[in-house]
Amino acid sequence: MAIILGIESSCDETSASICIDGEIKSNIIAGQAVHAKYGGVVPELASRAHQQNIIPTVDQAIREAKVHKNEIDAVAFTRGPGLLGSLLVGTSFAKSFALARNIPLIDVNHMQAHILAHFIEDPKPSFPFLCLTVSGGHTQIVLVKDYFEMELLGETLDDAAGEAFDKTAKILQLPYPGGPLVDKYAQEGNPDAFSLPEPQIADLNFSFSGLKTAILYLVQKHEKENPDFLQENLKDVCASVQARIVSILLNKVKKAAKQTGIKDIAIAGGVSANSGLRSALLAMGDRYKWNVFIPKFEYCTDNAAMIAIAGYHKYLKQDFVGQEVAPLARLHL
């Protein structure tokens, strides 16, 4: 039997999870409301909140899983990519825990973990499959050949998809993180109300910065004629923006599927919680006869269950790191 403690602290979520033989027994997430009024994550405040939250979060994860801390066989933690000050808190905690208990330490790549969240529950994809990983900091199309063998086929050249949602929300005067709110309003709006450009980017890469500018101009133009434009059209603007972001993403997925001939298609990362993306992917899957894999909501946004499951698969390979390991703000797949 293998009991793994997973720790996630790369951005603004402190999370701990217990995985027993590949099964997630707890997944505790402490969010950080402190960033809302700043319109984005303030790194200094994030590190401090992680420092406050880490012990209670781990404690709760252990209790909820009904294990004793002495039974834990290994500690897996997010090494990067992410905010360095935030990563340091989880890394230091994991190192101390492993040292005190004399158990192995496992480093996990956050972007790989988002993809490996697909191995928490059935149905699990089989290798090779394609994964569109869309989060606050990344937008990638990945060819997943094995648990830890992943090839980047395309990525964003500027903003990430989550950033596009969050920056749009800021223009629309919604609090951070705006993605879930844009999603909520979009569900009641008309996606054809406003036309927004689709950037022409080569290969399997993405660009979202032009979209942000187009939204800003659209709002400014209409507000000149009607100062209440935003209040009156918020749902339609959200629906139009969301539809465009989704079409930019899925057109590239379609291209990647065609290029590789792969029909097992997954999505991962915070933006994979988006209702428009989920339903459009399902529809596209029906049309092109794909096997579509969409994680449960709780495993889309940042969570330690994905770190624990990634840790479990590294544990099976005895792939451990030493106490000298340090977090990395930038880390490739």
Query: Residues annotated in the binding site, as ranges?
Result: 110, 114, 133-137, 166, 179, 183, 274, 302
Q: How many residues bind ligand KG4 (CB under 6 A)?
A: 19
Per-residue x/- mask for Zn ion, residues 127 to 146, rule CB under 5 A? --------x-----------
Per-residue x/- mask for Zn ion, residues 80 to 119, rule CB under 5 A? ----------------------------------------
Give the C-alpha distances (Å, rounded to integers) separating 147 from 21, 201, 231, 265, 318: 16, 29, 46, 15, 14
Q: How far apart are CA 88 and CA 91, in angstroms?
A: 5
Whether the Cβ atoms of residue 4 and residue 19 lie closer than 8 Å to each other: yes
Amino acid code (one letter) for 160: A
Q: Hey, which residues between 270 and 329 contact ligand KG4 (CB under 6 A)?
A: 270-271, 273-274, 301-302
Whether the Cβ atoms of residue 142 and residue 115 lie closer than 8 Å to each other: yes
The reply to whether omega before 56 is within 30° of 0 (cis) is no
Q: What does R_g of the chain's alpha carbons equal in angstroms?
A: 20
Q: Give residue for tokens 């209409």.
A: 222
Nearest approach in angstroms of CB 41 to ligand KG4 is 9
Q: Hey, which residues between 155 and 184 contact ligand KG4 (CB under 6 A)?
A: 162, 165-166, 177-180, 183
Positions at the binding site for substrate = 133-137, 166, 179, 183, 274
Q: What's the DSSP call for residue 156? A: B
Is residue 208 within the footprint of ligand KG4 (CB under 6 A)? no
Is residue 136 within the footprint of ligand KG4 (CB under 6 A)? yes
Of 13, 12, 11, 26, residue with least CA distance to 308? 26
Nearest approach in angstroms of CB 137 to ligand KG4 is 5
**Closer CB to Zn ion, residue 120 or residue 219?**
120
Give contact residues for ligand KG4 (rule: CB under 6 A). 11, 135-137, 162, 165-166, 177-180, 183, 269-271, 273-274, 301-302
